[in-house]
Amino acid sequence: MHRITQVIRSLIEKQGIKELRPAQSKALDSGLLKNKNLIVCTPTSSGKTLVAELAFLNHFLNKKGKTVYTCPLKALAAEKYRNFKRKYPEMNISLSIGDPERKEPYLAQSDLIICSNERFDSLLRQESQWVNEVSLLVVDEIHLLNDVSRGPTLEILITLSKRINQNLQVLGLSATIGNPEELASWLNAGIILDYWRPVELYKGIYSEGEIDFFNKKENIKLEEISEDPVINLALTTIKEGKQALLFVNTRRSAEAVAEKLSHRSKSEEDAIQLSEKIEKALINPTEQCKKIAEIVKKGIAFHHAGLVQKQKELIEEGFKDKKIKVICCTPTLALGIDLPAFRSIVRDVKRFGSLGMYYLPVLEIQQMFGRAGRPDYDEYGEAILIAKNQDEKEELHSHYLKGKPENIYSKLAVEPVLRTYLLSLISINFLTTKEKILKFFDETFWAFQFEDREKLHHIAESMLYLLKDYGFIEINEEIRATKLGKRVSQLYIDPYTANFLIQNLYKAQTHDYNDFSLIHLICNTLEIRPLLPVRSREYGDIEAGSLQHQDYLLYNDQFSEDYLNSIKTALMFNSWLNEATEELIMKKYNIPPGELKYKVDKAAWLLYSLQEIARILNYTETARNAKSLNVRMKHGIKEELLVLIQLKGIGRVKARRLFNSNIRTLAHLKIINLEVLKKLIGNKTAVSIKEQLGISIGSLKDY
């Protein structure tokens, strides 16, 4: 460790690090502490995080500037934050993963800011001064540049950060890139390549009762506890006293497999408390909360984007504490999180996309594999695919076990993406002339990789005129965003969607419309997709719904293929706003649990955007309607509960209970007897409400 200073050395030695790993030594040799840009492309668990730590300690101790550490997932950012905060108390470290609109002035004082990619993007758009002081940008899991939905954000934020700070050091980390040279040369970076892993990871394929490791390790014959190979693999892992992560391709499958496993397992003493915590993570536990709690009691869990953050964290902690033995999850858990899985079982290697089923890239499968065999937990790990027969086994072997990760390609040149970013960069006055705009796009990975500047310039120019036609920018000597354009950009919606909303809001000023019309309107935006498909036996019902609302629709495209689907989706939201239970909605509209919450959040955000746009256009009444719908959407309530819902601790269920007991105003709540209130909504909430209404606990005895 001779190349690092005494101070840095003692800081990392305090954590028990005795020796540097190959990836770390090579990074030091390649100028990590000399401001050199680097792409570290080494296996999962090889210690890339410490490379980043050495770099940010160097920037911090030598007062070079701030470090921004971006991660693709909030959970990953939160994990890094907890670790770094514990390890480096002398640094001012912040975690920033909130809403795009959130302001966090204290970030100006931070030495190290850990955020999700999307959050850093929104921080850049907020034009905070401190952005100029960033001297090191760490991009964890940088291969996500290849991701259609998240890659462009990442690409823009790297390009933009480099433009803002000419001396910025960029450090990209990834276990799986087929073409690191190309990426490195775009970033003007050195490459650290190494294949050493601290713990061996054996890759095998399970089929016909046996795991074949292809001569890397002796095959394992498994006892047959269940006929279902996935269940069998999971149950035998538990029986051996080990833990597994089980990857499937949808949230619904994750829940189904977890449920099936839980039926085959006994309740575990130490999991019961955890199960209670998970159930109570929301003030008003939903059906899904109850379901996950039941499963966790058996030492099993599911984990996907439909769970709330708190629950995901509890599940991850539960797994680390060995209270949970198996987590059935979607691939979101595959990125960089340090979990003690002995086995990583990947059931689904295919996923449904717009062109039907397709094989997952090697890159993604390797990420899932890499969750097993983490140092500190096991002597080795096992990564297992499942094959139905010999043919499939051979195919999986040659494609996934022997295959090398794919090259990554820029996904920037997708029109919705380009117009969104173009507006954003104009809005923050970063790009103020056509020349600057073209030059900026010339510096992207897209331009570097495809070398077809002409095409890119052509796309950029046509986008520019589109934004002008929408009224979001003005092109004079300088290019400037209008007030409306600026707001659209801050709202994080596609300019195309914003224009669609504006056109229809305009119609609303002369056309009869109701709440359903606004809900249906947002069901016609790209953001709310995929729409709920109408099944053949539902046609009658949905057509009846359409007839009932048809005359009031603002956007009525009855000849489009999606028309009935958009009506069905709007009817689903309508049930939610009319306080149908989640269970009923899930059954009636055939929507999986996590999906409902996800859609409701999206719809609430679009209604907020609608409200904001209407406000700027001075459509006061429409803005008011959209505002009320936004709150109702967040909580799933009728208009009459809007007053009660303002109180913390009151959700749709408790608000309804109060209302039905004739307690409908804050004034009434203030004077009502505390004991009566406790009976209605529970002791804790009752006391908290009295406090929120300005009545101190001491004086409560008088009631």
Applying CB under 6 A, the residues found at the interface with ligand ATP are 17, 19-21, 24, 44-50, 175, 336, 338, 370, 375-376
Instruction: Find the shortest distance in angstroms from Cβ 371 to ligand ATP.
Output: 7
> Which among Mg ion, ligand ATP, none contacts residue 21 (Cβ within 5 to 8 A by kind)?
ligand ATP
**β-bridge pairing 326-329 and 244-247:** parallel
User: Which residues, in sequence order, are CB contacts of 1 under 8 Å at separation 6+?
Assistant: 9, 19, 20
Nearer to ligand ATP, 50 or 256 (CB): 50
Instruction: Find the shortest distance in angstroms from Cβ 445 to ligand ATP.
Output: 21
Instruction: Find the shortest distance in angstroms from Cβ 19 to ligand ATP.
Output: 6
DSSP 8-state code for residue 1: -
CA-based nearest residue to 431, from 486, 480, 488, 487: 480
3-state helix, strand, coil in the chain (%, to 5): 55, 10, 35
Nearer to ligand ATP, 71 or 464 (CB): 71
Which residue number places its CB atom closest to Mg ion? 336
Instruction: Find the shortest distance in angstroms from Cβ 17 to ligand ATP.
Output: 5
DSSP 433-451: SHHHHHHHHHTSHHHHHH-
DSSP element (H, E) containing 386 = strand 380-386
> Which among ligand ATP, Mg ion, none contacts residue 175 (Cβ within 5 to 8 A by kind)?
ligand ATP
> Which among ligand ATP, Mg ion, none contacts residue 223 (Cβ within 5 to 8 A by kind)?
none
Nearer to ligand ATP, 51 or 233 (CB): 51
> Which among ligand ATP, Mg ion, none contacts residue 636 (Cβ within 5 to 8 A by kind)?
none
Nearer to Mg ion, 41 or 674 (CB): 41
Measured CA to CA, the distance from residue 305 to residue 598 in angstroms comes to 8
> Which among ligand ATP, Mg ion, none contacts residue 20 (Cβ within 5 to 8 A by kind)?
ligand ATP
Instruction: Find the shortest distance in angstroms from Cβ 42 to ligand ATP.
Output: 6
Q: How far is CA 22 from the centre of its chain?
A: 32
Nearer to ligand ATP, 80 or 125 (CB): 80
DSSP 657-669: HHHHTT--SHHHH
Instruction: Find the shortest distance in angstroms from Cβ 15 to ligand ATP.
Output: 7
Q: Write phi, then psi, for 39 (nearest 5 degrees).
A: -110, 115
Which of 236-244, 266-274, 332-340, 500-508 is the region at the interface with Mg ion (rule: CB under 5 A)? 332-340
How many CB atoms within 10 Å of residue 99? 9
Residues 116-175 that bind Mg ion (CB under 5 A): none
> Which among Mg ion, ligand ATP, none contacts residue 47 (Cβ within 5 to 8 A by kind)?
ligand ATP
> Which among Mg ion, ligand ATP, none contacts residue 370 (Cβ within 5 to 8 A by kind)?
ligand ATP
DSSP 8-state code for residue 341: B
Instruction: Find the shortest distance in angstroms from Cβ 7 to ligand ATP.
Output: 17
> What does the block give as tokens for 216?
């890397």
Instruction: Find the shortest distance in angstroms from Cβ 205 to ligand ATP.
Output: 22
Residue 16 Rama label (left phi>0; alpha psi -120 to 50; beta):
left
By three-state DSSP, how is residue 7 classified? Answer: helix
Residue 190 Cα distances to 24, 57, 234, 442, angstroms? 14, 20, 42, 21
> Which among Mg ion, ligand ATP, none contacts residue 623 (Cβ within 5 to 8 A by kind)?
none
Q: Does 336 bind Mg ion (CB under 5 A)?
A: yes
Which of 258-266, 328-336, 492-500, 616-624 is the region at the interface with Mg ion (rule: CB under 5 A)? 328-336
> Which among Mg ion, ligand ATP, none contacts residue 46 (Cβ within 5 to 8 A by kind)?
ligand ATP
Instruction: Find the shortest distance in angstroms from Cβ 172 to Mg ion.
Output: 12
Nearer to ligand ATP, 45 or 253 (CB): 45
Nearer to ligand ATP, 44 or 117 (CB): 44
Instruction: Find the shortest distance in angstroms from Cβ 396 to ligand ATP.
Output: 22
Measured CA to CA, the distance from residue 557 to residue 62 in angstroms comes to 62
10 CB-contact burial (10 Å; exposed 0-12 / middle 13-18 / buried 19+):
exposed
Instruction: Find the shortest distance in angstroms from Cβ 344 to ligand ATP.
Output: 11
| Helix 415-427 and helix 483-490, axial crossing angle in degrees, nearest 10 | 120
Question: For 175, what's the count of Cα atoms within 13 Å in the CB-facing half-sphere?
Answer: 23
Measured CA to CA, the distance from residue 617 to residue 534 in angstroms comes to 35
Which of 161-169, 267-275, 335-343, 674-682 is the region at the interface with Mg ion (rule: CB under 5 A)? 335-343
Q: Which runs of E-coded beta strand occur in 121-276?
A: 134-139, 169-174, 190-193, 200-207, 210-212, 220-221, 244-247
> Which among Mg ion, ligand ATP, none contacts residue 338 (Cβ within 5 to 8 A by kind)?
ligand ATP
Site residues for Mg ion per CB under 5 A: 336
